[in-house]
Amino acid sequence: MFGYYLKIAWVSIRKTPLLSLLIVLTVAVGIAASMTTYTVQYMMSKDPLPGLSDRTFQIQLNSWGPEKPYGYEGDEERTTRHITLQDAKNLLAAKQAPLQTAIGEFAEFVYSEDQSFSDGIGTDIRTVTIDFFAMMRAPFLYGTAWSAEDDEAGTDVTIISKKLNDKLFGGVNSIGKSIVIGERQYRIVGVMDDWPMLPKFYGAPFEAYQPTRDVFVPFFNQIRHELLTRSELAFNCWTAPADDSIRAFFNSECVWIMFWVQLDTPSDRKRYLDFIFDYAKDQRQFGRFQRDGFHKMYSVEEFLLNEEVVSKDTRIGVWLAFLFLIVCLLNCMSLMTAKFHSKAAEVGLRRAVGASKQNLFAQFSCEILLLALFASVLGMLMTLAGLHFTKSAYSYLSAELMTMDVNMVLATLGLAIVATMAFGLLPIIKAIQVQPASQLKSQ
Amino acid sequence: MRDLKPILKTIKVRLMGPALLALQIAVTFTILVNAFFMIEQKEAMISKPSGVDEANIFRVLSNQPFPKEEYEARLDETIEAIRSIPGVQAVSMLNTLPLAGFGTYDELTRTPEGRRETWTATFMGSTDAYQTLGLELVAGQGFTKQDEITVAFEAQSHPSDVLVTRALAEKLYPDNWEEALGKTIYLTMIPHQIKGILAEMNGPWGTWFAAKISVLKPVRDANEVLPLAVRAEPGEIDVVMERVKEYLLKTPRRQITYLDKFVDIKAKNYQRESAALNTLWIVLLGLTFVTALGIFGQSRFAIMKRRKQIGVRRALGASQWHVLRYFLTENAIVTSIGILFGCVFAIVLNQYTVSHFEFNLIPAGYFVFGAAFCLVLGQVGVLVPALQASRLSPAIATRTV
């Protein structure tokens, strides 16, 4: 029976090609608009560390001066994203979390041993402590993270990206070779594989959708060599350093380091927060931490929300696109009504020869289903085209945002079919109300 | 207007078609008003003046490959050399440019411990930096060479005199911004005197809420990096950029990190806004197209259903114009009902965006515009089917359909 209905549906579509095409096209355009914007937002708000993000926390210490707070969030005092070097060292040494990392940065010219200084490329370099790679599930193409000894001593070792390895070493295994960072040779201990983490939550929010940095060196290497590029660094001071040397800046109350911890279970959060508060109390005997409380821990999700990593425009765009889909579907509904209206004679005839309303309902549903299938495939193709266009328009975002995962493909096809069927229901019900007798008279 | 009664009656009897159309118009109207409002807001943001002589400015950031103690002397030497390059109008040291996306900010208070009045974007550069950028001084004095201090660390710089933008002066003295001249302000608790007021100087971040509230300090930072702003003679910017690059690279171990035109910096800063604008325009165009198509399809269908009636009316003496008018009026009524619902939806949506996204309230003008647009769209959509209907021969009435 189903096969027969599909056959009839196909015949009917062939009979009204223009109307059927319009229905399919309208749904497809609506689907493409809404799913393109939704895919981008969905990818933007993806969980960057599935399974770990609810126990990975950013630490905010309120080490601000006694005169006035750093700022306010509404009426509540708030503190900065960054902490001081003093606190980063203390938290690392306290080892109250199974995994923890301090994250800093500096800029330097980077080139290979065979190149000269003038070939160097100004590079923003990430400095991290060893746990970073395990915490963030960094993928390695060659080698591994540096050793715990190198981490503590701040040895001149580095981990580079696949992109830089391709550029400087033609993509071969470069472990043991060196790159030059500024004035010093750094031994390569690892090459990272492509790492499309979305969003890249562990650094500054404006970098969340930019590619991973090309060069990583131990955090304590930066401290040991006093490497700092103030013109490229986000920092904040409530009181000026003792003098204008980098050493004095490092020893000052200026904040510039991001600090993340990863706990065993989400419920350890309370314990770690208590530790932070105790730590702040302890620091008072040295005259630090004069302000009361407002130390915070943000889970990955809370941090991303708090920093508004997904822009308002993106979210509003999704709303508008879904409203647009509704316009398309309403439009479709009236087109379907028109389509079935021309079948009144057919309905009357079939009812007269004994077809029940249920039979007709099933038959017309098949017809809509067929249209919905066409619309979903076309909508899918148009969504892919839309994403391709978005890729070129939003060149500052990583291309990974404009890809669909399996969930999105299924959602697109499902939405197209369900929406078309739902909006087709009323026209079908109206169409099968035709009284058999009415078709025997003339209008 | 004699048509009104039969139209309303028809709408009541055949509720579904008109109701669908009205609903479609309502949603269209909602999107239209909200999207157009967003477009206007973004356009205003992108097209506002930065205060800079945009076409002729570029920046160059290079390193100073010299021993620490030579930084200051070398800085002067480099600036002098660039100034003498043909085609260079002016050159100054400046930590960052308006809209460059990176810079520093300060907290502004009236007393050292006072309440924060606002955040300010803080520029630091040579005393002639504002002339180099082509900024206009609207009150007070510019800097003299004595105002300038050279430091080796930003956080340590305390010049006494600063220039501020008019937007900052208005923030402090809303009734008479010129009062700000000579007053002392505290920038992150350090006192400064306002020596002059600049018409405009956009901060480094275009979409920042305090984008127009800026301070210029006469501070030069002599360290390993050397950020310069250069103004070229009109039309010569490309040549001058090449010459500056050539000169800088004569020094061994000198590296150029940035060399870019102000116009490109500005475009990059507003890239996100421009991309959002394009998306909004595409949605609007698609929407207009789909809705117009929908109105056309539906009215055509509605009119086909009523061919016999039309024939009867024509046979009883209705002119072509009468029939045309009837359908245009019908469409206008249905559209108006849609617009009424649309107003309610749009206000609800706007309330939502105001509370969730800190949007502004949409001014009434947009609703008027949206209503006019939807009415015109409806009339355009219905025109062709209505014209076809009006040309139907009265003889149809005598046939069965």
Is the CB of residue A191 less than 8 Å from the CB of residue A162? yes
Chain-chain contact of A30 with B294 (C-beta, under 8 angstroms): no
Beta carbons of A327 and B152 less than 8 Å apart: no
A243 to B155: CB separation less than 8 angstroms, yes or no = no
Give A247→chain B minimum CA distance, Å.
12
Instruction: From chain A, pick out residues whose CB is under 8 angstroms from the CB of B63.
Output: 109
Q: How many CA atoms lie within 13 A of B92 on its CB side?
A: 26
> Minimal CA–CA distance to A389: which of A408, A406, A402?
A402
Q: What does the domain layout of chain A look like in residue ranges?
A: 2-45+312-442, 53-306
CB-closest option in A26, A37, A337 to B16: A337
In the 8-state DSSP scheme, what is residue B203? -
Q: Please identify which residue in the block is written with the tokens 């130390």.
A: A295
Report the alpha-carbon distance of residue A260 to residue A52 in Å, rounded: 12
* CB contact set of A27 (below 8 Å; sequence gap of 6+): A328, A329, A332, A371, A372, A375, A379, A416, A419, A420
* Amino acid A215: pLDDT: 96
Query: Which residue stretches of A67-202 are H helix?
Result: 85-94, 131-135, 148-153, 162-169
* Neighbouring C-alpha atoms within 13 Å toward the C-beta of A47: 9
Does residue A9 contact residue A366 with C-beta atoms inside 8 Å? yes
Q: Is A158 helix (H, G, I), strand (E, B) or coil?
A: strand
Beta bridge partners of B258: B61
- Decide if A260 contacts A300 (C-beta within 8 A): no
Q: Is beta strand A140-143 parallel, antiparallel or unpaired with respect to A184-192?
A: antiparallel
Put simply, the chain B residues between 196 and 235 with a CB less than 8 A from any chain A CB are 223, 225, 227
Tell whether B24 is within 8 A of chain A (Cβ). yes
Which residues does residue B150 pair with via DSSP β-bridges, in sequence order?
B220
Cβ-Cβ contacts under 8 Å for B147 (sequence gap 6 or more):
B127, B159, B160, B161, B195, B218
Question: B255 and A120 in contact by Cβ < 8 A?
Answer: yes
For chain A, the first-to-last Cα distance in angstroms comes to 33
Task: Classify residue A354 by burial, with Cβ atoms within 10 Å: 0-12, 13-18, 19+.
Answer: exposed
Residues of chain A with C-beta less than 8 angstroms from the C-beta of B225: 229, 231
Task: Say if the Cβ atoms of A243 and B156 lie within 8 Å.
Answer: yes
Would an 8 Å CB–CB cutoff place B184 in contact with chain A? no
Q: How far is B139 from chain A (nearest CA, A)?
A: 31
Is the torsion defined by CA of A358, A359, A364, A365 positive or negative?
positive
Would the CA dihedral through A194, A199, A202, A207 be positive or negative?
A: positive
Smallest Cβ–Cβ distance between B24 and the set A237, A331, A430 belongs to: A331
Q: What does pTM read for this prediction?
A: 0.76
Looking at residue A363, its pLDDT comes to 87
Show residues of chain B in contact with A244, CB under 8 Å: 151-153, 155-156
Query: Cβ-count burial of B34 within 10 angstroms (0-12 exposed, 13-18 middle, 19+ buried)?
Result: buried
CA A359 – CA A185 distance, rounded (Å): 80
B355 min Cα distance to partner chain A (Å): 12
CA distance A131 to A365: 58
Chain B, nearest residue to A313 by Cα:
B276
Q: A265 vs chain B: nearest CA distance in angstroms?
A: 32
Q: How far apart are CA B86 and CA B88, in angstroms?
A: 6
Task: Name every residue whose Cβ is closer than 8 Å to that of residue B154 and which is 6 or more positions away in sequence.
Answer: A230, B95, B104, B124, B219, B221
Residues of A in contact with B38 (CB under 8 A): 313, 316
- Find how far residue B218's CA is from the centre of its chain: 31
Best mean pLDDT range from A72-76, B133-137, B308-312:
B133-137
Residue of chain A minimizing CA distance to B188:
A238
Q: Mention every residue, 6+ apart, whose C-beta is less than 8 A from residue A235.
A: A82, A254, A255, A256
Confidence band of B341 (pLDDT split at 50, 70, 90): very high
Is the bond preceding residue B234 a cis peptide, omega within 30 degrees?
A: no
Chain A neighbors of B399, CB-CB under 8 A: none
Dist CA B176 CA A336 (whole Å): 65
Q: How far apart are the first and last CA of chain B?
A: 29
Task: Write out the DSSP string of B233-261.
Answer: PTT-HHHHHHHHHHHHHTSTT--EEEEEE
Helix-then-strand count for chain B, H and E: 11, 13
Q: For residue B155, what pLDDT band results from cuts at 50, 70 and 90?
A: very low
Window 288-347 of B, Cβ < 8 Å to A: 290-291, 293-294, 297-298, 300-301, 305, 308
Give chain B positions within 8 Å (CB) of A326.
27
- Could A240 and B156 be called an inter-chain contact, meaning their C-beta atoms sit closer than 8 Å? yes
Contact B31 A311 (CB under 8 A): no
Q: Give the HSE-up count for residue A94: Cα atoms under 13 Å, Cβ half-sphere.
A: 17
Contact B257 A122 (CB under 8 A): yes
Main-chain dihedrals φ then ψ at residue A348, nearest 5 degrees: -60, -45
Question: Per the CB < 8 Å rule, is B400 touching A323?
Answer: no
What is the C-alpha separation between B381 and B331, in angstroms, rounded?
A: 9
Q: Alpha carbon B92 to chain centroid distance?
A: 29
CA angle A404, A405, A409 (to 5 degrees): 70
CB contact under 8 A, A331 and B291: yes
Residue A323 to residue B27, Cβ atoms within 8 A: yes
Find out whether B18 and B230 touch, Cβ atoms under 8 Å: no
The proportion of chain B whose per-residue pLDDT surpasses 90, expressed as a percent, equals: 20
What is the distance of C-alpha B82 from the center of its chain?
35
The amino acid at A163 = K
Q: Are A312 and B357 inside 8 Å of each other by CB?
A: yes
* Residue for token pair 């803080």: B122
* CA angle at A316 for the pair A314 and A317, rounded to the nearest 5°: 60
Measured CA distances, B164 to A110, A174, B153, B184, B212 (Å):
39, 53, 22, 12, 10
Q: Determine the residue of chain A that is closest to B307 in CA distance.
A: A443
Orientation angle between helical segments A2-15 and A357-393, nearest 10 degrees: 60
Question: What does the pLDDT profile of chain A (443 residues) look like in tens digits?
Answer: 778 888 888 888 888 888 888 889 889 989 988 888 888 888 888 888 888 999 999 999 999 888 778 877 777 788 888 999 999 999 999 999 999 999 999 988 899 988 887 788 888 999 999 999 999 999 999 999 999 999 999 999 999 999 999 999 999 999 999 999 988 999 999 999 988 887 888 988 778 888 889 999 999 999 999 998 877 788 888 887 887 788 999 999 999 999 999 999 989 999 999 999 999 999 988 889 888 888 999 999 888 888 877 777 777 788 888 888 998 998 888 888 888 887 888 888 888 888 888 888 988 899 899 999 999 999 999 999 988 887 777 766 677 777 788 888 888 899 999 999 999 888 888 888 877 777 666 54
- Residue in chain B nearest A331 by alpha carbon: B294
What value does the mean pLDDT take over residues B259-274? 84
Number of helical H runs and strand E runs in chain A: 14, 12
Instruction: Decide if B27 and A230 are in contact by the 8 Å CB cutoff.
Output: no
Cβ distance of B16 and A426 shorter than 8 Å: yes
pLDDT value at residue B396: 75
Question: Is A117 in Cβ contact with B24 (below 8 Å)?
Answer: no
- pLDDT tens, residue by residue, B16-35: 778 888 998 999 998 888 88
- Nearest-CA residue of chain B relative to A246? B153
CA distance B139 to B122: 19
Q: For residues B166 and B196, is the Cβ–Cβ distance under 8 A? A: no
* Whether the Cβ atoms of residue A386 and residue A341 lie closer than 8 Å to each other: no
CB contact under 8 A, B301 and A338: yes
Angstrom distance (rounded) from CA A83 to CA A192? 27
**Are B271 and A396 inside 8 Å of each other by CB?**
yes
Contact with chain A for residue B276, Cβ under 8 A: yes
Residues of B in contact with A208 (CB under 8 A): none
Taken as a whole, chain B contains a residue count of 401
Residue B154, pLDDT above cutoff 50: no
Judge: B308–A312 Cβ closer than 8 Å, yes or no: no
Note the pLDDT tens digit of each residue in B83-101: 999 999 999 999 888 888 8
Single-letter amino acid, residue A202: Y
Contacts of A316 in chain B (CB under 8 A): 38, 353, 357
- Burial zone of A356 (CB within 10 Å; 0-12 exposed, 13-18 middle, 19+ buried): exposed
Contact B178, B137 (CB under 8 A): no
Contact, B280 vs B39, CB < 8 A? yes
Burial letters B291-317, b for 16+ CB under 10 A, else e: bbbbbbbbbbbbbbbbbbbbbebbeee
Give the per-residue pLDDT at B69.
82
Structure confidence at residue A350 (pLDDT): 84
The single-letter code of the amino acid at A181 is I
CA-nearest of A380, A344, A379, A378 to A364 is A344
- A192: helix, coil or strand? strand
- Judge contact between A70 and A63, C-beta under 8 A: no
**Mutating which of B13, B41, B153 best tests the A interface, going by the most A Cβ atoms within 10 A?**
B153
A184 Cα distance to chain centroid? 36
Distances from the Cα of A26 to the Cα of A187, A339, B182, B252, B253, angstroms: 59, 15, 64, 63, 61
Rounded to a whole number of angstroms, the distance from the CA of B138 to the nearest CA of chain A is: 30
Helix or strand or coil: residue B19? Answer: helix
Query: Which of B30, B279, B305 to mutate against chain A (most A CBs within 10 Å)?
Result: B279
